[in-house]
Structure 1
């Protein structure tokens, strides 16, 4: 395999990394390519793309609140800005760390609406995203559109699962149109490998386009989608998943798979009957 092909394959691994597991994927790539600098440099664009698409959150040095990495708050020179903290900062995409924060001033014809949205969306995020939430409001597309981004991460590697909720909305003041996407990504990997990926589009024509109306609409759609997911999970648990295999064997006793595995291995070593797998 050529270096270019190796970079392409490794980049696909990066872009498919589950929530909270990018560093593990990068470590595995380093092992697989024997720390080949050409390959590691070659996957950096994929790492940057992953961080922006996944809306990675980070803390500024000395700060307690999370800020977001996205396509909406990029600055020249690889820096990013955050309206809420009125700062710009550098970001190491491989290490996923922010650095060198500097003062930054919002310059936008929609500045008052952006500030109002930051104020009004905060209670919604804090109520419904209790674990490491982050949100941001940004002027985009030459100040013709406002982006509202909400991220909720919950990582539990000790229990073999990680998850991320991403909500991205764009509001166009000239047409009072609100469009967006809600994405849920959950990875469960104890004694298996199960991943949930969902996408829910949002498109609404608002009446007045005030900050309160925008946030109320966002909250309503997110609540509705959460309820839809809960119903779907319940149906899967009681339906498809339950029918995949018998919960208990006929004798009503749980199977000790480790004991059976050792028994079969002993038979094979001892020259017993063959076992078909």
Structure 2
């Protein structure tokens, strides 16, 4: 061992872990840790072996009571792995959920909903009910489970809020359409009096008399002169029109001069922003409306397809553990039966492991395979699932009786052949006179 590298030692330790007796895997790990003395490297090699050991030995996982689900147990097995998942998850049929299992810390976590299609779940539940009744009557500390190779139903898609795309505002169409938007421009004066008159600033807020029928007159800061008759001067309209034309020509000349200065000086003219009154009454500039971007929705993911197995198989597993540490022995009974309705066959294997370690280390590991035709229809009041479990019970009971006969024959014949019932003198030993015996002389007399 001294010449081996730490990697080689860890590989040998991982193989040793796979041979751990029933109920003693933790003791084996602690002993290996003391020998290797490098947990970081050891755990990298132990984890795959520990996972394989837990799944093959049908480790019992306890689930606490949560969310209205009572406390119960489930079994870890290769058949109980949820198909189609990136991360390895195991099925908890009683709780109708799946979970992730930490083999190092022996803890279940990350529970998620799990549901089989109705047809497969109905047959699986019927098998599980019959198998649980058989396990309870034959194994005092037994557990059972039934798994299906069918893919579970997909969970419902999360609801995504619908995004309403924003549309761009076309300034030209809005300014042309008089019903959609109006350009707010002050009206031009039509008469000279309206052009020269300024805003009224001497009007105060109107007062209303409390409880009176008519409001009080509105006071003014100055006396309002009486309205005089308008004197129409001949040629007045022509003068107003000519004044308006002259004002427009002056504005055009100013704009041309400003444009010429910007071209010579290299200064860019700021774009003219016109305010457009929208239908809601809020003014928005045409420059902002033209730069609005239509929000594009993210490309939708392709819908997930429900995978399905045409002819799923059902795996029935039973484990019975008996640990008697005070008398230095442990034992485990495991059975695994595969129901394949397409082939019309039920195949199973029985595993029995016993470890006896009082002043020694003796292990018994036996394996027995069996099969029988799968029933296709009910037989009277007995359903197909009940017929399958009944046949399994008969086969396992017969094998159990065979083991009892083998142990009895082993004790009566095989072990007796390994030792003598009497010494070579064919006389019983008198232990009170053992000090007076001369073994050599007695052997010589016996030979003569």
Conservation of the 8 A alpha-carbon contact between 2:318 and 2:334? yes
1:140 aligns with 2:308: no
Following the alignment from structure 2 to structure 1, what is the Cα–Cα distance between the partners of residues 60 and 429? 47
Given that 2:313 and 2:338 are in contact with CA atoms closer than 8 Å, whether structure 1 keeps it comes out as: yes
Distance in 2 between residues matched to 1:21 and 1:162, nearest whole Å: 9
Q: 2:129 aligns with which of 119, 126, 134?
A: 119
User: For the pair shown, which has the larger CA radius of gyration, 1 or 2?
Assistant: 2
Query: As a proportion of its length, which structure holds more helix?
Result: 1
**Paired position in structure 2 for 1:168:** 336
Q: Over residues 28-84 of structure 1, what are the superposed CA-to-partner deviations in whole Å (9 max), with x where a residue is unaligned?
A: 111011133112222111110111111111211246533111101113423211223
Distance 1:18 1:123 in 2: 28
Partner of 1:110: helix, strand, or coil? helix
Deviation at 1:213, TM superposition (A): 1.1
More strand by share: 1
- Is the contact between residue 60 and residue 101 of structure 1 (CA under 8 Å) also seen in structure 2? no
Q: Determine the structure 2 residue equivalent to 1:152.
A: 320
Report the CA distance between 1:159 and its aligned residue: 1.3
Aligned residues: 253
Q: 1:59 to 1:247 in 2, by over 3 A?
A: farther
| Equivalent of 1:181 in 349, 355, 359 | 349
Q: Which runs of 5+ in 2 are unaligned?
A: 151-308, 378-383, 432-448
Scaled by the length of structure 2, what TM-score is found?
Answer: 0.53
* CA distance in structure 1 between the partners assigned to 2:330 and 2:344 by the alignment: 36
The answer for unaligned runs of 5 or more in structure 1 is: 255-277
Identify which range, 40-49 or 56-65, moves more after superposition: 56-65
> Per chain length, whose mean CA-contact separation is higher, i.e. which structure has more relative contact order (CA < 8 Å, sep 6+)?
2
More displaced, 99-108 or 178-187? 99-108
Deviation of the 1:217 alpha carbon = 1.0
Is 1:32 matched with 2:19?
no
Structure 2: distance between partners of 1:221 and 1:243: 32
Mapped to 2, the partners of 1:201 and 1:240 lie a distance apart of: 25
Provide the TM-score with structure 1 as the length reference: 0.84
Q: Within 2, Cα distance between the matches of 1:190 and 1:253? A: 29
Query: Taking structure 1 as reference, are residues 81 and 252 closer, same or farther at Cα in structure 2, changes over 3 Å only?
Result: farther
The RMSD of aligned alpha carbons is: 2.1
- Given the alignment of the two structures, is residue 226 of structure 1 paired with residue 404 of structure 2, yes or no? no
Please give the alpha-carbon distance, in whole angstroms, between the structure 1 residues aligned to 2:139 and 2:369. 20
